Structures are given as C-alpha cells and as structure tokens.
C-alpha cells in the first residue's frame, strides 16, 4: 500500500459519568484518531492515551509530536507500506509505544480492508462473542458504589473490577461481596497506588476470593511484585509493568504475576499484543483484554483480540454505553452479558460522519503526498 495521506483527528467526548482511579478523575475522553489513506483503501485507529501522563509516561501531545516528526516519516519512507513493516521501521525510535500502536493499527485496518479480512481472522480469534467485564470507578461512598455495581449487574456484565486506592479497598470489596455474594466474578485494580510496606494490609483482601489484584505497585517494580506475590493468596495481575512480550516473559520468570492484562496500546500495537498472549499461553498463564476508555474505533479492535484462545478471563471490554451516550461508531451493545466480535473487513465498523463531526475538535494532516 502506498500511503497518500495521514490525518490526525482530535476528538473530545463527554463520559456518561465521572471515572475516578487512584491517579485522577476523568469527566470526558480527549484523544485522537488517525486516518491513513492509501490507494483504494483507508484505515482508522484510536490513540490509547490521555492528555496527561498519569496512567503512563506518554500523553496525547507527546504522541502527536512523535508521530509527526519521527514515526510517520519513517513509515512513509518505506514506499510500499504494510502493517508488518511498521514495527521494524520505527524500532530505532525508543519508547513511544502508544504512538507506534496507533500508527500500526491504522495501517493494519487499511490493509485488512483492502483484502476484505477482519481483525479477528487476522489475529486468530476462536470466538465470535466475548463476555463483557466492567471497570467501576472509585465512588464517593460505599452505598453509591453498591448502586453503581447493581446497575452494571442489571445490564448483564459478567465481571466487576473495582478501582482501589489506600483508604478505598477492603471496605468497598467487603461491601460488594456482602451485597452480591461470593459467586460474583470480582477483581480490583490499584493503578500503582501501593508500596511493599502495604503487604500486610493488602493481605486482608485474600479473604474475599478475588480473581486478581491488578498492578498494586509501581510500574518498574517487578522485584516488589514478586515479593508481594509471595505474601498474598490473591493472584497478582500486571498492567502498567508490561510494555512488551519480553517484559511479560521476564515478569513470569520472576514470579511477579500470575495473570496479565493485555492492552495493545501499552505494548505498541496488536502484533505485539498477540506476542504477549503467545508468551503467556506458552506458560499456561491467563490473559484478558484491558481497556483505555476506547470509543468504538478502539473497542472494535480490542474485541477481536479478546477472542483469541488465551483470553480466558473477561476483559474491560464494555458496551459503548458504559462510557458514551453517543459513540463514534454504531454502538456496541450487550447481548446476554456478551459483545459480538466484529467480522467485517478491518476493525469491522465504520466511523459515523455525524458523531465524528460533533465530537471533533480539530483535524491536522501529518502527511500528504
């Protein structure tokens, strides 16, 4: 494929409710889409980060500069561009995995659309629907949290993830177990809010039969996670710490985790995400698909990944309505607690012009031939 144009579309969408984590509160999603046009085809992808470097070191403005000045020129210079060639072309650039991911994914979408092949088929999906989990933000009070969880269970969600932080951990988990019972698939996500000195406190979560505790310690603290793992019954799952398949192999070798949250953006794209899946599967380690408050553009591709055989736990793949009153694509809706995996060409959904224009802040050409 010869690339004719790469356009960055800055979008801003209000969230249906506030989303609070241990690193901040969001009331809207502010990100960008990349549109790659080449020959008879075009592809779309969504940046998986945020305007602030709080979840990870990258942010929307850093990705925009990395793409404009370093990544796009290296890829366009290839002449005949394929998704498989993007990673090698940008490998000399250190880091910037979220920026690399959005570029590779847009090229992959364009390429697969030109063959009429779906992401699901390309990645090796073995299911046509996946169970939907939901990530529940920190609430102002326990009764409000119980209301939030009851609402999601009423909609059919198959698994609940509670965001936790010091001061909001044992009590909310105890209350959710007391209200909804021991059979509810339940897990927690600390987004790096604890230290190893909190090990005895975190051990109090062991009595609640959680599926896992996600990223309790700092992203660069594999040794600490391994030490903590020796003191908890609850399996540790890593999110922020895993930025590549090699990281996954290292973390498993060190005993730093027993479960991995796979986010394509964090590891540099869907090709590396599949390699993380393969590394985990080779060790019999379960993985699940994480989420970054994606619009339908990112959500569609995540559903394809979540349909791979090693994705044995429900992911943070929720319906569009979990976050957005109006999505940028036809909305993804729950069907018996599941979401259908798109089977059309590429990501399998189209960006809707009306919603896109209503939520567009600005458009910029990063490249025109």
From residue 144, alpha-carbon distances to 27, 171, 190, 198, 230 in Å are: 17, 13, 19, 26, 34
Catalytic residue among 2, 100, 161, 263: 263
Our CB check for ligand NPQ shows the closer of 107 and 134 to be 134
Q: Which is nearer to ligand NPQ, 55 or 194 (CB)?
A: 55
Cβ atoms < 10 Å from Cβ of 365: 11
**In angstroms, what is the minimal distance from the CB of 240 to Mg ion?**
7
Cα-based distances in Å from 83 to 14, 75, 92, 102, 111: 32, 10, 17, 11, 7
The binder of 26, among ligand NPQ, Mg ion, none, by C-beta within 5 to 8 A per type, is ligand NPQ
Q: Site map for ligand NPQ, 29-68, x if CB under 6 A?
A: ---------------------x----x-------------
The pattern of x and - marking residues 313 through 342 that bind ligand NPQ according to CB under 6 A reads: ---x--------------------------
Helices 296-306 and 270-282: crossing angle, nearest 10°? 30
Query: Closest separation between CB of residue 37 and Mg ion, Å?
Result: 34
Phi/psi at 249 (5° precision): -60, -40
Active site residue 263: yes
To the query of whether residue 100 is one of the catalytic residues in this protein, the response is no
Phi-psi region of 348 (alpha: psi -120 to 50; beta: other; left: phi over 0): left
SS3 assignment, position 141: coil
3-state secondary structure of 99: helix
Residue 269: name its binding partner from ligand NPQ, Mg ion, none (Cβ under 5 to 8 Å by kind): none
Judged by CB, which is closer to Mg ion: 109, or 189?
189
Q: Residue 239, interface with Mg ion (CB under 5 A)?
A: yes
Return the H-helix or E-strand segment holding 363.
Answer: strand 360-368
CB 261, CB 240: distance < 8 Å:
no
Q: Which residues of this chain interact with ligand NPQ, rule CB under 6 A?
A: 19, 21, 26, 50, 55, 135, 189, 191, 239, 290-293, 316
Q: Which residues of this chain interact with Mg ion, rule CB under 5 A?
A: 189, 214, 239
Residues noted as catalytic: 163, 263
């Amino acid at each position: 494929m010869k690339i004719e144009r790469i356009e960055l579309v800055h979008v801003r969408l209000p969230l249906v409710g506030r989303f609070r984590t241990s690193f901040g509160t969001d009331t809207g999603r502010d990100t960008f889409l990349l549109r790659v046009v080449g020959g008879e085809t075009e592809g779309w992808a969504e940046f998986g980060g945020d305007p602030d470097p709080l979840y990870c070191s990258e942010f929307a403005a850093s990705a925009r500069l990395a793409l404009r000045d370093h990544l796009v020129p290296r890829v366009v210079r290839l002449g005949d561009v394929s998704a498989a060639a993007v990673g090698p072309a940008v490998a000399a650039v250190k880091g910037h995995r979220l920026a690399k991911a959005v570029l590779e994914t847009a090229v992959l979408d364009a390429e697969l659309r030109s063959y009429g092949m779906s992401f699901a088929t390309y990645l090796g999906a073995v299911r046509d629907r996946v169970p939907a989990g939901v990530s529940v933000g920190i609430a102002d009070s326990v009764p409000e949290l119980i209301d939030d969880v009851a609402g999601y269970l009423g909609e059919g969600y198959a698994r609940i993830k509670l965001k936790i932080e010091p001061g909001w951990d044992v009590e909310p988990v105890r209350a959710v177990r007391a209200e909804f019972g021991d059979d509810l698939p339940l897990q927690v996500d600390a987004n790096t809010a604890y230290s190893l000195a909190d090990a005895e406190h975190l051990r109090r979560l062991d009595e609640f039969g959680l599926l896992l505790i996600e990223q309790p310690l700092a992203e660069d603290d594999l040794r600490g996670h391994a030490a903590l793992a020796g003191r908890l019954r609850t399996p540790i799952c890593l999110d922020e710490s895993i930025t590549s398949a090699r990281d996954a192999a290292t973390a498993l070798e060190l005993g730093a985790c027993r479960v991995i949250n796979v986010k394509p953006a964090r590891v540099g794209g869907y090709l590396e995400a599949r390699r993380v899946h393969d590394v985990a599967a080779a060790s019999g380690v379960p993985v699940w698909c994480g989420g970054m408050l994606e619009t339908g553009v990112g959500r569609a591709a995540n559903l394809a990944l979540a349909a791979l055989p090693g994705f044995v736990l429900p992911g943070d793949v929720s319906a569009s309505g979990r976050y957005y009153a109006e999505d940028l694509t036809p909305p993804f809706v729950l069907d018996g607690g599941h979401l259908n995996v798109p089977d059309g060409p590429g990501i399998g959904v189209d960006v809707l012009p009306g919603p896109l224009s209503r939520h567009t802040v600005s458009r910029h050409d990063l490249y025109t031939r």
